[in-house]
Homo-oligomer: A and B are copies of this chain.
Amino acid sequence: MLGLMQSQPLLISSIVTHAARHHPHAEVVSRTTEGTIHRTNYAGIEQRARTLARALMRLGVQPDDRVATLAWNGHRHLELYYAVSGMGAIIHTVNPRLAPDDIAFVLNDAGSAIIFADTTFVPLLAAVAPLVPGVRAFVILADPDAMPEVTLAPGQELLCYETLLADADDDFAWPRLDELQASALCYTSGTTGRPKGVLYSHRSTVIHAYAINLPDVLGLRSVDRVLPVVPMFHVNAWGTPYAAPMVGASLIMPGRHLDGASVQSLMNSERVTISAGVPTVWMGLLQHLRATGGKLDTLQRLICGGSACPPMLIDTFAQDYGVRVDHAWGMTETSPLGTYYSPKPGFESLSPEDVKTLQYKQGRAVPGLDMKIVDDAGAELPWDGTTFGNLMVRGHWVTRRYLNAEADATDADGWFATGDVSTIDAHGMMQITDRTKDIVKSGGEWISSIALENIAVDHPDVAEAAIVGARHPKWDERPLLIVVAKPGRTIDPADLLASYAGKIAKWWTPDEVVIVEQLPHTATGKLNKLALRQQFRDYKLASAAD
């Protein structure tokens, strides 16, 4: 017997119509690419999004069509989010930090035929245009008098965003779509191959917005002023463009300048209460504050995700600036929020040191998502805070299958393997210990490469360190430590290996040290473990000759 409640689809358009109706004056403040401050509100965003939907229809955009963006966080990008998804098309947010070749790949893979871009990206457009013959229109997010020249391929059109809007009217009504309809498309950063497309639905996006607005997660209120430093091309700015209007919180959009000085000035001038970003951004903010003696006038919380947040950031922002740093974990495939740190009952009676140890972990599962750790045979491992295993997730906003893939990315029970290795403690707090592919498997046991690298970089002579599993006839793999010395320092391998004593199980100690001039990095600045593995996988360990 079915319930007798109203049945309405969970639609992205319902978020912006709710905001326009119940929070019309809540602000959307954007620092433009020209450096000026643009102010509008949710009534304005919703009205312009409807106008844009009409303009998109005039451009021939049909339901299911992919519409790409190459844009910073700003009001026009927000209009595109709602117009494209709301009309039943799919917004494909392209990461401009990818190489032009990869940008062309994702545009072609997605089949995006129109791309909206900030003026910043005009050189990139010129480089990409000949590689994407399927893209028929390039729309520049600018006023007519600020339109740049761009050399395009034959059959490709250059258009002005504000002209398109001026020529359309706002008589568009949001259609009642299937809530399972695809709404947005993000690609993984593709560290081990070509980027893969993750296709979100209206339903997954709206449920994710409700869930991350729980008070033990982002927990936005209408009185909040939210600054997403994390870009709208990076897993939808972690869902903030949906979560903020859902509750009427104001959005402060930082545009292209994400350095410490720019972020601090916007936080103070716009009375920001909550901001979200990766550790490097908060490190930049902290360095700027320390160098200038600056303060954060209204900020209450920083959300730190993307990679593990250094404990120093959590401690320093709390002690010196009265700002809480919330640790979060997620990935493109999880929309992205999977876990979030917030205290549980009883934490108030723990020692400050014990609380810090918990805060340094990535947090506990957001309601609506479940997680477990398993061994290589798939058996579930205990939540004891020390046993580590492959992290698996399942939930309303987790990927089932990549775009254009022929098989599901989930196992028979619907679990998605994150590719991360982690522990989970008795409080349900998860801590990433490694990437699955970086773990060293020695005699059937696992050794965390991150744990070994962290000890190495604590040594006074070491600038950077990487652990690679080198083949071993008896143990299958043994850890090989590859290091770069600090300028003017010389690394003594024996002394460095001696520094592991007492910090780890003895059998985890790397077998050998290789000193190199520099380590390879990916385009996004991470260690290129793939290249290192190719180079050092067959390194002849002295221990292998035993």
Contact = CB atoms under 8 A, between A and B. Distances in A.
A344 B2 contact: no
A365 B22 contact: yes
A219 B394 CA distance: 25
A342 interface: yes
Contact of A210 (B14, B207, B220): B207
Contact of A201 (B3, B248, B414): B3
B204 A215 contact: no
A221 B18 contact: no
A248 B182 contact: no
A382 to B, nearest CB: 13
A197 to B, nearest CB: 8
Interface in A319-370: 335, 342-345, 347-348, 364-365, 367-368, 370
Interface residues of A, number: 73
A395 interface: yes
A90 B1 CA distance: 9
Given A182-B3, A396-B8, A214 B223 contact: no
B370 A18 contact: yes
A400 B403 CA distance: 37
A397 interface: yes
Contact of A219 (B25, B198, B219): B219
Interface string A507-528: 0000000000000000000000
Contacts of A8: 394-396, 414
A410 B7 CA distance: 12
B3 A183 contact: yes
Interface string A194-222: 00001111111001001101111001111
A264 to B, nearest CB: 22
Given A221-B216, A223-B343, A247-B214, A400 B182 contact: no
A451 interface: no
A178 interface: yes
A6 interface: yes
A416 interface: yes
A182 B7 CA distance: 13
A246 interface: yes
Given A22-B428, A410-B6, A342 B221 contact: yes
Contact of A367 (B6, B246, B250, B364): B246
A399 interface: yes
Contact of A180 (B7, B26, B402): B7
A399 B5 contact: yes
B223 A5 contact: no
A198 B401 CA distance: 38
Contacts of A223: 343-345, 347-348
A474 interface: no
A199 B22 contact: no
Interface in A244-258: 246-248, 250
A449 to B, nearest CB: 28
B414 A6 contact: yes
A398 B7 contact: no
B2 A370 contact: no
A215 B90 CA distance: 30
A367 B198 CA distance: 27
B181 A7 contact: no
B64 A4 contact: no
* Closest 9 pairs (CB-CB, A-B): A3-B201, A210-B210, A5-B204, A4-B199, A3-B182, A1-B64, A22-B428, A4-B401, A215-B219
22 contacts: A1-B199, A2-B201, A3-B182, A3-B199, A3-B200, A4-B199, A4-B400, A4-B402, A4-B403, A5-B199, A6-B394, A6-B395, A6-B398, A8-B394, A8-B395, A21-B370, A22-B364, A221-B342, A222-B345, A223-B344, A246-B367, A248-B344
Given A4-B399, A5-B199, A18-B367, 14 more contacts: A1-B199, A3-B199, A4-B199, A4-B401, A4-B403, A5-B399, A6-B398, A6-B400, A18-B370, A210-B368, A216-B221, A216-B248, A223-B348, A250-B345
